[in-house]
Amino acid sequence: MVDQMQELPRTAAVLARWRQQMRLSKQRLADLSDVSATYVRTIEDGRDAEGRTVVPSAAVMQKLAHGLAQAEGAAGRRPAVERDAYAELMAAGGYLDPIASAAPAPPVEKPLDQAPPRQQAVLPEAPEGPVTVVLRDPRLWPHARPLLEGWESLEEDDQALLLQVLAYVHSRRTRPLVKGDA
């Protein structure tokens, strides 16, 4: 009973708000996202049948964001809706630092190779303005910098593949290993 009273994950409220804003039923969002309607309900409930907290993987969040964007009447706005929904879902799920999905930050005066100690970069390529990426572990900077700087030049399929790899790594890190897992 105590578990039931705990606060629901932010992804539950964020997904429900986006779905309602786009005037979609859970079933219609599921159809547009290629995700089961049961899973959409479970995500919005924030708990599975056993009462465990449910936070979808990054790949599922990407599918949901794509489905939400498909409901946008103006085709020209679909990429922005998908990007905004995905960023907000990822931040709510703890995959991104909240700074990355907040209002655009002012441009940084220093070049990327002189990033501050927390390894912060402002990427100006986003159509709505710059996006701030904060890496909490400075050891990631040499590996992430080339990817961040070249993200826009990657093919969409390559971007999706990299996001799937990150989601897989995250899922392996957060779920217990079962006998027979490699």
One domain, residues 84 and 105? no
- pLDDT confidence bin for 136, thresholds 50/70/90: low
- What is the helix (H) or strand (E) element at residue 123, kind and residue range? strand 120-123
**1 in any annotated domain:** no
One domain, residues 91 and 167? no
- pLDDT confidence bin for 122, thresholds 50/70/90: low
CB distance 44 to 10 below 8 Å: no
Helix, coil or strand: residue 175 = coil
How confident is the model over 67-119, as pLDDT tens digits?
999 998 888 888 989 988 998 898 888 877 554 444 443 333 334 444 444 45
One domain, residues 105 and 152? yes
pLDDT value of residue 153:
80
**24 in any annotated domain:** yes
One domain, residues 15 and 86? yes
One domain, residues 174 and 140? yes
- Least confident window among 48-62, 147-161, 165-179: 165-179
**2 in any annotated domain:** no
Domain that holds residue 37: 8-96
**3 in any annotated domain:** no
Tell me which of 96, 122, 154 is where a domain ends. Answer: 96
Q: What is the reported pTM?
A: 0.54
Domain tally, the chain: 2
Question: Which candidate, 168, 150, 167, places its Cα nearest to that of 112?
Answer: 150
One domain, residues 163 and 149? yes
**140 in any annotated domain:** yes
DSSP symbol at 9: P
Tell me which of 40, 70, 96 is where a domain ends. Answer: 96
Kindly tell me if the per-residue pLDDT of 165 is higher than 60: yes
> Which of the pair, 55 or 119, is modelled with greater confidence?
55
**48 in any annotated domain:** yes
Locus of tokens 């859970």: 26
CB distance 43 to 17 below 8 Å: no
Tell me which of 96, 120, 155 is where a domain ends. Answer: 96
CB distance 141 to 114 below 8 Å: no
Burial call 126-146: b when 16+ CB within 10 Å, e when fewer: eeeebbbbebeeeeebeeebe
pLDDT value of residue 26:
95
CATH number for the domain spanning 35: value is 1.10.260
- pLDDT confidence bin for 134, thresholds 50/70/90: low
One domain, residues 142 and 84? no
